[in-house]
Each structure stands twice: as C-alpha cells, then as structure tokens.
Amino acid sequence: MGQKKLVRFAEIETFPNVLQYPKDIAGNWHSHFTNTNSITLELACGKGEYAVGLGQLYPERNFIGIDLKGNRIWVGAKKALQNNLSNVAFLRTKIDQVAEYFSQNEVAEIWITFPDPQLRKSKAKKRLTHPKFLRLYKKILVPGGLIHLKTDSPDLYQFTKLVIELHGCTVHTDTDNVYQKENISEVLKIKTHYESLDIAGSNRIHYVCFSLPAQIPGKEKDEELKQLLKENEGAD
C-alpha cells in the first residue's frame, strides 16, 4: 500500500463524519446527525461528489456516502469537513451489507451514480439495480422512496429499465440523454469523477428515477430476467 493511502487511512480514523463498519447504528442515525431529518444514500459513492453536492443543495436533509474504499471516502469526507457540512457523513462497508446499517423506513432516497456496470452477463447479479439489491433497498427505504440511477453505461441503463418493467416498479423520470434537456435540475448538474472520465465512451448520460412496488416479485421473475439477458446480451 502506498504512503499516501496509509496517511489517508490513518486520517479518516479521526474524521467525525466517517463511520467504519459501525455497530448498533441501524435506527440510530438521528443520534449521529443530532436531528431527525430525512436520509439519502449515495451507494458506491467513490469520492462522494453526490453526497457532498446534495448536502450543499439541501442543508435541511442528511446524506450518507457508502463505499468500501477508504482512500476514496477520504476525499469526500475531507471536503465535507472543509465546507462545514454537518449533514454529510460516510459509511465504510460493502453495498450488499447496507441493510445491516439501517432500519426499516430509515432511508428516504438512494442515489446510484456511475457504478461499475458489470458488463459480463455472468456478473449481472453484481449490478446495483439487480433485483437482489432492490430487495435489500426495500428493507430500508420508506414506502415510495426514490431510487436514482445516473450512468454513462447504456447497457446498465437498459438493464435497469428491464428490471423496472419486470418487477413492477414505478418510473418517475427517465431520460437517455441528461444534458440534452433544456432545463437541467441542479441535482443532475452534479458531476462525479467517473462521469468526467466517460469510460463508456457514450458521450451521453442516462438517468432514471423509480420507486419500488409494495412487494417485489420473487425468484421466478429473476429467472425470467436471466433468460431475457441471455437472449438480448448474447454470450460472454
């Protein structure tokens, strides 16, 4: 591990806005924030640009960036401290363990910004909008809570729309080219480090906002999804 990473890992141990694998935090985030304001998560947040950006736009709400990489979290946490954003925190853990850190109805919204699209068909279950993850989010979201996906991957965007359709989710906003719109919201103007890289080379940003049904269909729909992926995406 490089010296820079070692320094950052040591420093985030002292950051009051970084919680690393905390125990007994589920249902008690109001104690950390010292208020009962709504909570929005940024999953696989990387450097936390959205958590910080949203925290600046909405001081009356709380935001938590979640990622496993402490070196990346350091960037967002440092910026939040420098800007006195007491409504922004970071949680270091794996995304598939997120339900262990929040209680039922504790989260109002979830942002998934430029995640790894996991393009190989064999890794579809690792996509953060796969039904496997939606069932996790269901455990912690308020009824009707919003899930936002912003990505430069047309494959992940289309996959997510397929999941939404198969599993009876409600779409609130859907655009396959964010910056083509005339009146872009301040929220969608927030850019992450990965957005600026345009790794997909698509030269366009896709965005879909949706909410989960009262009950997410079971594994039979997952099998249907698997078959559709085989037909649509071809072999690895």
Each residue of 124-167: pLDDT tens digit?
999 999 999 999 999 999 999 999 999 999 999 999 999 999 99
**Catalytic residue positions?**
116
pTM: 0.93
CA distance 58 to 37: 11
With cut-offs at 50, 70 and 90, classify the pLDDT of residue 43: very high
184: Cβ contacts below 8 Å, ≥ 6 apart: 178
At 74, is the secondary structure helix, strand, or coil? helix
| 74, 12 Cβ separation under 8 angstroms | yes
CA distance 61 to 41: 11
Q: In the predicted model, is pLDDT for residue 195 greater than 60?
A: yes
Distances (CA, A) of 217 to 96, 131, 183, 222: 19, 9, 36, 8
Domains and CATH numbers, the chain: 3-233 (3.40.50.150)
Dihedral Cα 35, 40, 42, 48, nearest 10 deg:
-40
Nearest to 134, CA basis, from 215, 13, 42 = 215
Q: Which tokens in the block code for residue 99?
A: 């339900």
Nearest to 134, CA basis, from 50, 52, 20, 225 = 225
Per residue, the 3-state secondary structure of 106-120, as one string, reads: CEEEEEEECCCCCCC
pLDDT digits (tens, 9 = 90+) for 2-15: 788 888 888 999 99
Residue 206, Cβ neighbours under 10 Å: how many?
A: 22
Phi, psi values for residue 143, rounded to 5°: -55, 130
Q: In the predicted model, is pLDDT for residue 27 greater than 70?
A: yes
CA distance 149 to 185: 15
CA distance 92 to 70: 7
| 159, 129 Cβ separation under 8 angstroms | yes
Residue 82, Cβ neighbours under 10 Å: how many?
A: 9
Residue 108, Cβ neighbours under 10 Å: how many?
A: 17
Least confident of 41-45, 54-58, 115-119, 140-144: 115-119
Average pLDDT over every residue of 171-175: 97
